[in-house]
Structure 1
């Protein structure tokens, strides 16, 4: 990777340094630091390319996929999303297409009956599923396999399948240490979100079991809450942002009534469809729910077991040819292998006593 802090134009180098300084390290270890820096490098290249191109030749910027989230979800800080949104908005000025709606609507579409039926079955199963009691002093443990594409070269280069373990603290108080991630043979602390000098409280960015239980269980009220509070970058559709936010909450230890409401809320988002060929990161085929981000030509899928409707994983891939690859190119995927509640960060479930 080239050093983006040096070059022939001091003013532009200074701008890049300032942007890089403002971009925070993610609150979670969803991406290893090296891959995070590569994505930052790609962003700098996109800015340079847009500034250098004549205005009449500028077109829609290529897709920049959302970061995949560890489970339970630990969101990218809102400040990072706001900055990314400002940069994306600057690039999107040259889109030439219609501007996205400011708010987004969650009115149910009329052609979503198949997806609504499947999500209804998932909701019923989730509402009847027994979940372990989770104390505030415990940790939710998740073991999964993940893989993602590196976009540094301008093409999507798929990385290897990686083992990852996450211990998410359930303490509802604002925390400076949110848990642990073990990936690639290394263990990293989950630190408070950027800007949370007093610690990160429970919420969408840190969905503890107690906080999840406080959400509305009426699907319409829950969806209204999610549309009002889900962070998203300007230029991205609001419906897609909320769909991905719900996906980030799936697969963890969630109160049954909340889990049931999440599926029924998803059924009310326009554009949600069944995905019969859905597979997770290790190839397990199951019942699929999907939504296409038509702006960037990317489909996001959730995968569920065909027998008991438990969450298996997710994936995202291109559904149209782009500069990053041809239709079908995989961008990210995960497979959830184990979910448990333990007493300490770093403790394996089989050692819990």
Structure 2
């Protein structure tokens, strides 16, 4: 055995050990895919650093990046994540009911002639009219929902059962090492800081507190440009899809100030490829209007599902848009449903009915 072979074996062993030590993605403790996203990002960095240390060519690292880029986004497919997107869409969508009543009521979805931009603009207008009180720094955002996981470790998509979860997210300003609590499968566990945040996770894209959200630009174009700056970039990705998922994760994981919510809905309308689908279904089987986008890279369509009458948020679902190594076109690839959202004063305590 040559020295090169020994080096490769040592590298493979070290990489495998690092991968083993990284924590698995729990069901719903962070916005969809954050743990898996950071795991994959870290493994990419390990590959690149090792390649440079061993004098490999840039082509080796590029080949590995292309290999990853050609796979479906495991961050979306490996966890139920009813929070994607959930609470803020639920709040903003519920506001549309009152707005529709003020304008004569009736169904918010009057047929296929209504474009996705019109639907999103109605959501934006309703969100901007909200007089909801902000959540305080000492309070927690509570969310209860359900979803189905899709496991890809066998090489094929294996659908798990519906699993209900509850979460409490802290709104404290500044870096925090404990972000809240997650309750799932009869167990209550702390939500820890993001991987690598040794001093705690600061408010931002991965910890969207109400106070931080209130500092975002409200102009939709400026907001989209800002998201382009703060959303991590990866070789071979569909950048518009990355922005769609980034905004979706944020919108579904926070209680948004009215002006911020209004700007976000309009920003989504500016993303190319976003469409409206009339027959979307959430994890509880509730049918609604879908706001969707196809990820051409992975062959996965993700739909945000809204009630057809009042446009309140119901959940999300996804399926394959073409044959892939994981399944056939049309195969189910995950879903969720929001059951309840509220603001509470203490983590682990359910809201009063």
1:260 maps to 262
CA–CA distance in structure 2, aligned partners of residues 209 and 270 of structure 1: 28
Give the alignment partner of residue 342 of structure 2, picking from 340, 343, 349. Answer: 340
- TM-score after normalising by structure 1: 0.74
- Is the Cα contact below 8 Å between 1:132 and 1:341 reproduced in 2? no
Distance 1:200 1:340, change over 3 A: same
1:274 maps to 276
2:10 maps to 11
Distance 1:258 1:173, change over 3 A: same
- Is the Cα contact below 8 Å between 1:167 and 1:345 reproduced in 2? yes
SS, match of residue 217 in structure 1 = coil
- Is the Cα contact below 8 Å between 1:193 and 1:200 reproduced in 2? yes
CA–CA distance in structure 2, aligned partners of residues 292 and 307 of structure 1: 25
Give the alignment partner of residue 71 of structure 1, picking from 76, 79, 83. Answer: 83
- Is the Cα contact below 8 Å between 2:284 and 2:337 reproduced in 1? yes
- Displacement of 1:231: 2.0
- Is the Cα contact below 8 Å between 2:176 and 2:200 reproduced in 1? yes
SS, match of residue 280 in structure 2 = coil
CA–CA distance in structure 2, aligned partners of residues 217 and 198 of structure 1: 30
CA–CA distance in structure 1, aligned partners of residues 236 and 213 of structure 2: 29
- Displacement of 1:232: 4.2
CA–CA distance in structure 2, aligned partners of residues 162 and 232 of structure 1: 32
Give the alignment partner of residue 310 of structure 2, picking from 290, 303, 308. Answer: 308
- Displacement of 1:235: 2.2
Distance 1:164 1:233, change over 3 A: farther
- Is the Cα contact below 8 Å between 1:73 and 1:206 reproduced in 2? no
CA–CA distance in structure 2, aligned partners of residues 345 and 324 of structure 1: 38
1:82 maps to none
Distance 1:302 1:232, change over 3 A: farther
- Displacement of 1:128: 2.4
SS, match of residue 287 in structure 2 = coil
SS, match of residue 161 in structure 1 = strand
- Is the Cα contact below 8 Å between 2:29 and 2:182 reproduced in 1? yes
Distance 1:232 1:183, change over 3 A: farther
Number of residues paired by the alignment? 291
- Displacement of 1:233: 3.5
Structure 1 range deviating more: 13-22 or 120-129: 13-22
1:208 maps to 209
1:140 maps to 141
- Displacement of 1:330: 1.6
- Is the Cα contact below 8 Å between 1:70 and 1:166 reproduced in 2? no
SS, match of residue 116 in structure 1 = helix
Structure 1 range deviating more: 156-165 or 9-18: 9-18
CA–CA distance in structure 1, aligned partners of residues 24 and 157 of structure 2: 23
What does 1:275-290 align with in structure 2 at a 5 Å threshold?
A: 275-290=277-292
- Is the Cα contact below 8 Å between 1:73 and 1:205 reproduced in 2? no
- Is the Cα contact below 8 Å between 2:71 and 2:297 reproduced in 1? no
- Displacement of 1:186: 1.0
- Displacement of 1:113: 8.4
1:223 maps to 224
Which is richer in helix? Answer: 2
- Displacement of 1:324: 0.7
2:300 maps to 298
- Is the Cα contact below 8 Å between 2:292 and 2:304 reproduced in 1? yes
- Is the Cα contact below 8 Å between 2:146 and 2:337 reproduced in 1? yes
- Is the Cα contact below 8 Å between 2:213 and 2:257 reproduced in 1? yes
CA–CA distance in structure 1, aligned partners of residues 188 and 84 of structure 2: 17
Any unmatched runs of 5+ in structure 2? 1-7, 48-59, 87-112
- Is the Cα contact below 8 Å between 1:342 and 1:348 reproduced in 2? yes
